[in-house]
Structure 1
């Protein structure tokens, strides 16, 4: 696979399906034969795999990759358990058939152990922020500075927020029928957004672990978007359509974004009873257009539906 041929916008990943790397059907999933709606997938060798099964999991992934067909439509990632497992994965004969790696428990202490192996490759990475250092503003600023290095930044597709790991550190779990933003993690997400987003890093939204509550899932996705998060990992295929449907752009927002991107637009204008200012809304407009290109325009959302999704 020629990784340079792929346009890596974080929005293209949609709702990546997260799954254990020892599943028997990895090849079928990677080739789009099973769950053809998937835009991207993450095969895990970390928390989803017990320590005793790691060796067999890596061998299994290596065997399955022999049957991966080249694809410019499906995005495939492996969640490496640690830098040592990343080294073993990089040695697999068909590793070029994946697009990159998720780097769990990412901190300064493992920074060089990961990136010393990745420099000079075309692999993209998604470091995961899910350790106690995430609660330390200075630690996150130092980590940001490392990621901004010229030979590191091009590898970073987005940063993932490990919501469940962060809540585990606090000894809590998301209550049923509550969004993540109704827990202390909501404040953590705000902090991470302000530390990383102004410097060009995208952040993904934490998983939603309840499979029987699509109403709360939709509310949480709306808040994910309001916080500027890009993409929400799915833990079950049934979540994928719900997540990606929510990424369709509202018609009025899309029309405003197009007007804000028009070089002939005035500096400030009124549209859909909102002030549109080119100087301050340009990044938002670009984001809306990128989303529209991936997920289309949602013309059917009524005011009643908006109210039902609001707090």
Structure 2
């Protein structure tokens, strides 16, 4: 799915969002972050009016957003979204002056029940949305099929930037929390993520990867990102700025994969060929190759490890 960002002259893929950073909408430094004066490495950010904000702070958060919007720089080259609390809060946000400086909205706890309440308000606007799948309906395959049928409608689908998988909320529905040292795929969520990929990816929806809770376990974070990529997930939301370099470094592509992707998308490529001791078949591998090229355009090609790095791996 290729979309056009309002501040760019060229189409972009969801890979360009990188590792979006969630932050409460009442942060005092919101303008500095939005404009790149603070955390300049951020590709995208999500100002939260939902789980990161208490009931008592919601009005203050909305007033703070209203005060900040006029100072957002339209040419900062960063993607800005607001996670709304519910359809009523979306209505209040849409009424704010300068709300067009926001690229779109994250729609939490997204189900058929709130579908019309959200999308009826967005008609006639240019905002992109990222519905979040994070309620018990996600465990009901028929409910997800019905939701997909509504999301693929011609007047809805172009608005969907990606579907977000709310891993922590879904674990909460099960009364669980991911243990330290285990990836999300080592829990019951591994099966759920696989099912969501099967249900939505063939219909050209991008899906994002759940957050990783622990800030001091980069080994498990890296293992999880490898599995995110193996499942075709696009982007992993960061819960702290320190996670972003690790996430985005892992999105750089292997040189061999990059070279195979280039060959698979070459108009003169034979139908089947051998490269890097792998079978490459244009008919079955070209879509994978396009995804690799999208990633490479955003994150580059991985640098070969140095001798010192290989020695460190041997010691560990």
Secondary structure of 2:236's partner?
A: coil
| Aligned residue in 2 for 1:247 | 251
Secondary structure of 2:11's partner?
A: coil
Where does 1:137-216 land on structure 2 (aligned, <5 Å)?
A: 137-216=141-220
| Aligned residue in 1 for 2:32 | 28
Distance 1:8 1:180 in 2: 28
Displacement of 1:7 after TM fit?
Answer: 3.1
If the length of structure 2 is used for normalisation, what is the TM-score?
0.94
Secondary structure of 1:88's partner?
A: helix
Distance 1:227 1:37 in 2: 26
Mapped contact 1:6–1:72 kept (Cα < 8 A): no
1:73 aligns with 2:47: no
| Aligned residue in 1 for 2:240 | 236
Deviations, residues 115-165 of structure 1 (Å, cap 9, x unaligned): 001122110000000000000001001101101011101110000000000
Deviations, residues 220-274 of structure 1 (Å, cap 9, x unaligned): 0010000000000001000000000000010000000000001111100000000
Secondary structure of 1:57's partner?
A: helix
Mapped contact 1:125–1:155 kept (Cα < 8 A): yes
CA separation of 1:157 and 1:72: change in aligned 2, threshold 3 A: farther
Displacement of 1:9 after TM fit?
Answer: 1.4
CA RMSD in angstroms, aligned pairs only: 1.6
If the length of structure 1 is used for normalisation, what is the TM-score?
0.96
1:256 aligns with 2:260: yes
| Aligned residue in 1 for 2:133 | 129
Secondary structure of 1:270's partner?
A: strand
Distance 2:209 2:37 in 1: 27
CA separation of 1:196 and 1:289: change in aligned 2, threshold 3 A: same
Distance 2:9 2:145 in 1: 32
